[in-house]
Chains A and B, each alone.
Chain A
Amino acid sequence: MRPAVAQYYPGDSVIHRLDPRAKFVAVTALAITLFVRDSFAGLAVFAAAGVAAYALSGVPAAWFWRAFRPLLWLVGLTFLAQVLFAPGEPFFSFWIFDLSWEALQFAAFLSLRLVVLVLIGSVLTLTTPPLALTDGLAWLGRPLRKLRVPTDELALMVTIALRFIPTLLVELDQIMRAQRARGADFGSGGPVRRARALVPVLTPLFVLSFRRADELALAMEARCYRPGIVRTRLHPLRAGVRDAVLLLLTAAVIAVGLLV
């Protein structure tokens, strides 16, 4: 299977073993400061922190690269747009485009910032199983329960949705093949014709999904699931010294990044 954007890579590194809540808080804090800080020196500090965390995670470079590659065009597009349209003293002009050192610098800064942001964010998703991530988010969202936001139920919905995406993709492929065997053509004609061609695929897929949702709900009730009550967990999230160290280190990186 081809990894989707920075998909979880199973492992047992220090970074993997960190509490998802601590990781989420650290990454969010770093991302916010990254946007506040606008100097190359600050960017270098965050980049160094990201590279260090990535190196500790033990995720193979090939895995990371394959997930990152599709984002390259976004980075390239950002760079191009800024180079061509940011203001500055032009040293070279062509048609409606002016090229200036200021614009070049600004574009380089913006695209590098995007790369560092993706790197830091990837360390979180590469080393945290989606389930642990939603668990952590549910915990962090607990104060919202006072406002009657059903955070645990929302987390469960996200978890179930994530769980069934691969299943749905397999079924989608099967149904498309079956309709193609009956002469369906998904690749030709205008947009209207293409949309109509999807009816024989989407109808069975929806019917199948509703049926499965029904069965899943029954199975959950049969195992005594009730919404709205507090459940204990098989693997309770446990923050430790490691996580305190992570948050301290993050604070230090942010301080250095803001000061240099």
Chain B
Amino acid sequence: MNEARGMTLVCRGLDFSYEEGDVPIPALRDIGFDLGAGRSLALLGASGSGKSTLLQVIKGLDRPEAGEVLLDGAGPDDVSGRELRRQVGLVFQTPELQLFAASAREDVAFGPRRLGWSEATVTAAVDEALQLVNLPPEEFGGRHPYALSGGEQRRLALAGVLAMRPRLLLLDEPFVSLDPATRHELARILSRLRAGGVTLVLATHDVDLAWALCDQLLVLDEGRVAAAGAWELSESGRRVLAASRLREPFLVELWRRLGRDPAEAPRTVAEAAEALS
């Protein structure tokens, strides 16, 4: 995983609609943004704003009606497009629902086997992925997925995607219904992945974790881009977040109330403590 370098992601004018009977319900309208290799993006927006749809379009599970998704500059019809799409990992909301194998190791191996890797490579990738999500293979590898706790199942499902060594990782609400300890453990895992150079897109309602983990943001409002790019910490940025039923990150608010420049707000409590002491 350490040598896995991030992929660049560019979306241009994406349109997508669902069919409801014969009536198309627009879900995405003219979505465009750039994400550099190894960068991380917080995908914010109210429920139903199109976050999950956008992730599935990026992964290629749905084809956009207009616009294109460029991975490392290649479109879906380029020769390299297919191979590059395989290097995109998508972690669905409540991914533990997709666990099916009789052991943790077998479940994680499902994806790598589909890639046609040799058994030795698959084993190495599974061990590495289980290690990455703090489920040591010697202890958890033989356990039945359904015998694990909710937080362990979530991490196991994440390992199932990480074992395919994605260069771009898409996560759909990974923190939902986790207790605070597990939530922070998962945040630490994502932070490690990010340090390892994987490009991240994180759809979430948790602005504090988004602030801690992501360099830039994309706010969706009813399928349209409400804000994109660097975190906008001014009055107008707060209004955009409020319109999507979100607030500014806690540490940004703290910095603003202390009379400091919110643009220099720390990303973590540890950084804040250091800056304040």
> Which residues of chain A in 184-242 are interfacial with respect to chain B, using CB atoms and an 8 Å cutoff?
184-185, 199-201, 203-204, 207-208
A180 to B110, CA, bound (A): 11
Are B99 and A182 touching (Cβ within 8 A)?
no
Are A200 and B86 touching (Cβ within 8 A)?
no
Q: Which B residue sits closest to A180, measured CB to CB?
A: B61
Are A204 and B99 touching (Cβ within 8 A)?
yes
Q: Which A residue sits closest to B110, measured CB to CB?
A: A182
Min CB gap A194→B, angstroms: 15
A177 to B89, CA, bound (A): 12
Are B146 and A207 touching (Cβ within 8 A)?
yes
A181 to B115, CA, bound (A): 12
Min CB gap A173→B, angstroms: 10
A41 to B100, CA, bound (A): 59
- Which stretch from B67-75, B90-98, B237-245, B251-259 is at the chain A interface? B90-98
Q: Mark B77-95, 1 if CB is under 8 A from A, else 0.
A: 0000000001001101001
Q: Is A1 an interface residue (CB 8 A)?
A: yes
Are B98 and A179 touching (Cβ within 8 A)?
yes
Choose among A2, A171, A182 the residue that contacts B164 (Cβ–Cβ < 8 A). A182
Min CB gap A3→B, angstroms: 8
Q: Is A178 an interface residue (CB 8 A)?
A: yes
* Number of chain A residues close to chain B: CB under 8 A: 22
A1 to B164, CA, bound (A): 35
A207 to B97, CA, bound (A): 9
Q: Which B residue sits closest to A207, measured CB to CB?
A: B146
Where chain A touches its partner, the secondary structure class is: helix
> Which residues of chain A in 66-100 are interfacial with respect to chain B, using CB atoms and an 8 Å cutoff?
none
Min CB gap A160→B, angstroms: 21
A183 to B86, CA, bound (A): 8
Are B97 and A175 touching (Cβ within 8 A)?
yes
Q: Which A residue sits closest to B56, measured CB to CB?
A: A177
Q: Mark B1-32, 1 if CB is under 8 A from A, else 0.
A: 00000000000000000001100000000000
> Which residues of chain A in 133-171 are interfacial with respect to chain B, using CB atoms and an 8 Å cutoff?
171
A181 to B164, CA, bound (A): 11
Are A175 and B164 touching (Cβ within 8 A)?
no
Are A203 and B59 touching (Cβ within 8 A)?
no
Q: A1-B20, A177-B92, A207-B146 are in contact. Are A182 and B100 (CB under 8 A)?
A: no
Chain A residues whose CB sits within 8 angstroms of the CB of B21 once the complex forms: 1-3
Residues of B within 8 A of A (CB): 20-21, 56, 59, 61, 86, 89-90, 92, 95, 97-101, 110-111, 114-115, 146, 160-161, 164
Other than the given A181-B90, A183-B164, 19 more pairs (CB < 8 A) read A1-B20, A1-B21, A174-B97, A175-B97, A177-B92, A178-B95, A181-B92, A182-B98, A182-B160, A182-B161, A182-B164, A183-B86, A183-B111, A183-B114, A200-B98, A200-B110, A203-B100, A204-B99, A207-B146
Residues of A within 8 A of B (CB): 1-3, 171, 174-175, 177-185, 199-201, 203-204, 207-208
